[in-house]
Amino acid sequence: MNLRLLLILITSMFILSGCASTGDPDDPTSGLNAAEIYKEAKTSLLDGNYETAIQFYEKLESRFPYGNYATRAQMEIAYAYYKFDETETAILAAERFIKLHPNHPNVDYLYYLRGLASFDITKSSLGETFGQDKTERDPKSSRRSFQYFAELVRKFPKSRYARDTVQRMTHLRNNLATYEVHAAKFYFERDAYIAAANRGKYVVENYQRAPAVADALALMVKSYRKIDMPELAKDALRILEVNHPEHPELTQLKTNK
């Protein structure tokens, strides 16, 4: 009886082994181990075949969800999505890696990649396609990108990506300031002078050193004059004159006191 049971077990093992070796003929990863699947994924990634790389990385993680190769797949698939122009998916993949591996030695790269993906969204929105000034569009994606980059700089100030990140943050910050000035002009042109003055004040207080600050001050001068607040208008004019003496509206503003 025991001999019969042993024969059944041996036969079953041979059957299972045969099934495993045969695999799915349409699956290019059939019969490959984790290292081999990773090699195929990495080769595809380096060759610019991002869609194929994504497929290999997904297969790797689903079949071998633990270990070093799975971790590499989780990190590199985020980059593959980014290069494949699947920016929102790249952001999600980066956030997933950050959550799963907060202490990974290369986790700062995922923070950086998340910011990059969001930064690219700000450049490729529909408004730019039709020639609209990007500083006139809803700045939601710009704010999100700025927050992502700010988190990287705050958590990893010595990261190799910090310098580029700060430069991109400056660009985003300047765009956000210009957007606020566009909004202030919108209010001013519709005789909503209090709203225009407040929007200009917001720029001056929150985006110091941004080029748009000069225009914000000029709008504040004109808006305060419209609502008969001469002292505030004088203060804004004085700041404009001291800090931006080259502003094109300065002479006119001084003349029309």
Written in H, E and C, the secondary structure of 157-222 is CCCCCHHHHHHHHHHHHHHHHHHHHHHHHHHHHCCCHHHHHHHHHHHHHHCCCCCHHHHHHHHHHH
pLDDT at 23: 53
For the entire predicted model, the pTM comes to: 0.79
Q: Which two tokens stand for residue 84?
A: 């494949």
Which of 51-55, 141-145, 152-156 shows the lowest per-residue confidence on average (mean pLDDT)?
A: 141-145
Residue 37 has pLDDT above 80, yes or no: yes
* Between 36 and 22, the higher pLDDT residue: 36
pLDDT for 255 equals: 86
Question: Residue 111 in 3-state DSSP?
Answer: helix
More confident residue, 136 or 164: 164
Over the chain, what is the mean pLDDT?
Answer: 87
For residue 229, the surrounding DSSP H or E stretch is: none
Is it the case that residue 136 has pLDDT exceeding 50?
yes
Instruction: Tell me if 240 sits within 8 A of 218, measured CB to CB.
Output: yes
Mean pLDDT of 27-51: 92
Residue 238 predicted with pLDDT over 90: yes
With bands split at pLDDT 50, 70 and 90, how would you rate the model's confidence at 138? low
